[in-house]
Amino acid sequence: MILTYRAELLSVSHDPRDAGPGAVRHEPDGLLAIEDGVVIARGAYADLAGQYPEAERLPGLVVPGFIDAHVHYPQTDSIASYGEQLLDWLDKHIFPAEKAFADKAHADAIAAFFLDELLQNGTTSALVFPTVHEQSVDALFEAALERRMRIVSGKVLMDLGPDGLNDTVASGRAETEALIRRWKSRGRLGYAVTPRFVLASSDAQLADAGALLAEHPEVLMHTHLAENVHEIAAVAGRFPDAADYLDAYDRFGLVTPRSVFAHGVHLPERSCTRLHQSGAGIAVCPSSNLFLGSGHFDFGQADRHGLRLGLGTDVGAGTSFSMLRTAGLAYQAALAREDRLDPFRALYLATAGSAALLHIGDRVGALEVGHEADFVVLDAAATPLLARRTAGADLATRLFALQILGDERAIARTYVMGQCAWTRPSSRI
C-alpha cells in the first residue's frame, strides 16, 4: 500500500559545516510517498501531485524523526535527582536505581514507558544504555520491536561495578554473545558493545570488549568519554602512562569508526586528532553537561578537527527527552564558548548527524528516497508564546524558536515507518 502526505518538508542530510547550505533540503509545499514503510518519492507537491493525487495534508513542519545518540532508559525515573556531580550522582542516585533492573518485569515496565516517551518527543531512533543485566536488553528490544522503532543497545559491561550491579569478564562476554545471537537481524534493532566507562571495567574486561568488537564487525561500541573533571582525574590516576582519557580506551582496541563516545567535554588536542584519524565520533549531550556541572562541549575545537558529531539527551543526567530542547541547549553551550550553532546544523545533529554516528544514515535521518519513513510533524504554534514568536517568520526563525522554546508540546504527531505512532492529545492538527 502506498501512503502519501502533503506538507512543508525539511531535512539536513549532511553536516552544513562540511557540505554548506546545500545540505538543507526544504519543500515549502512538498509531497512524500511511502510504500512498505519506505520513502519512494519526495519532492514539490506541484511536481508529484499528478502521480499521487490523494495525499493527506499534514499542517505542520515535517522533519525526520529525531535520533537520540545517547540516552539511558533505566534512568528514566531518576531524572532530576538533586545535588551531585557525576561520580557522586552515580553512587547516590543511579546505581541504586539500576539494581532494580535485575527484575525483568520492572525492566519491561520502564522500557515501555521510556519508548513511549521517546515517541511523544518525536524520537524514533536511539542509541540506548540499559543496565548490566542481560534481561534489561531483552526488555528494551522486545518493547522496541512492538513499536517498530530503530533502537541500538547492548548489555552494560562493568565488572568493577558495585555489588548487585557488576558482571565478570566471563559473564559479560557470554551474555553479550548470547544477546548478539538472539537479536541479530530482528526488526530495526542493532547491538552495541557497551562498557559503561573506563573506570567501571577491569583491564581484562576492556580488552575483552575490544575483542568482542573485533569479532563482531557489525556492532557499535558505546561508552562515555572525558565528561567530568573529577572523573578525568580518576582515569589519569588509574592509567598513569596513558596519553589521555581516550588513550585508555585505545590501548584495548575500543577506538574505531564504529565507536560512539558520549560527552567529550574536556578533550586535549591529541584526543581530537586521534578521534578524527580513527573515525570515531561523539554524542554531544548539552543538557546533561549542564545538569551535572560537567562543562560545555567545545564545538570550535571539534570543528577544527572535523569530528563526527551527533546529539544525545543523556537522560537521566539530561533533564528532558526532547531533542528540540536539547538542540536549543546545544546552541547555548556553543555560544558560551563563543561558537555559533545555527538551527539547521542543530537539526542535522539531532537527525542525520546522529544517524551517521550510529551507522544507520543509509536508513534514517534525512527522509530521502529509500529511507525508512520516520518523521515528525512540528507545530510552531504549539504554545501561545511560540505562536507569537513564529507568526509570519521565515524558516530559520521558526526552526530556532522551536529549538529554544519547543519541547514535546511542539510534537503534533510522530510517524514510524509511515504510520502514525503518536498524536498529541490536544492537537489542533
Contacting positions for ligand GUN (CB under 6 A): 72, 86, 90, 94, 196-197, 224, 227, 288, 314, 317
Q: How far is the CB of 203 from ligand GUN (least distance, A)?
A: 17
Judged by CB, which is closer to ligand GUN: 90, or 307?
Answer: 90
Judged by CB, which is closer to ligand GUN: 145, or 160?
Answer: 160
Task: List binders of Zn ion among 52-81 (CB under 5 A).
Answer: none
Q: How far is the CB of 71 from Zn ion (least distance, A)?
A: 8
- The interface partner of residue 90, options being ligand GUN, Zn ion, none and the CB cut-off 5 to 8 Å by kind, is ligand GUN
Q: How far is the CB of 94 from ligand GUN (least distance, A)?
A: 5
Task: List binders of Zn ion among 244-273 (CB under 5 A).
Answer: 262
Judged by CB, which is closer to ligand GUN: 8, or 227?
Answer: 227
- The interface partner of residue 94, options being Zn ion, ligand GUN, none and the CB cut-off 5 to 8 Å by kind, is ligand GUN
Q: How far is the CB of 196 from ligand GUN (least distance, A)?
A: 5
Q: How far is the CB of 90 from ligand GUN (least distance, A)?
A: 6
Count of residues in contact with Zn ion, rule CB under 5 A? 2
- The interface partner of residue 176, options being Zn ion, ligand GUN, none and the CB cut-off 5 to 8 Å by kind, is none
Regarding 231 and contact with Zn ion (CB under 5 A), the answer is no
Taking contact as CB under 5 A, which single stretch among the options 249-257, 291-299, 312-320, 364-372 is the one that binds Zn ion?
Answer: 312-320
Alpha-carbon torsion angle 187, 193, 199, 205, nearest 10: 140
Q: Please report, as ranges, the residues that interact with Zn ion according to CB under 5 A.
A: 262, 314
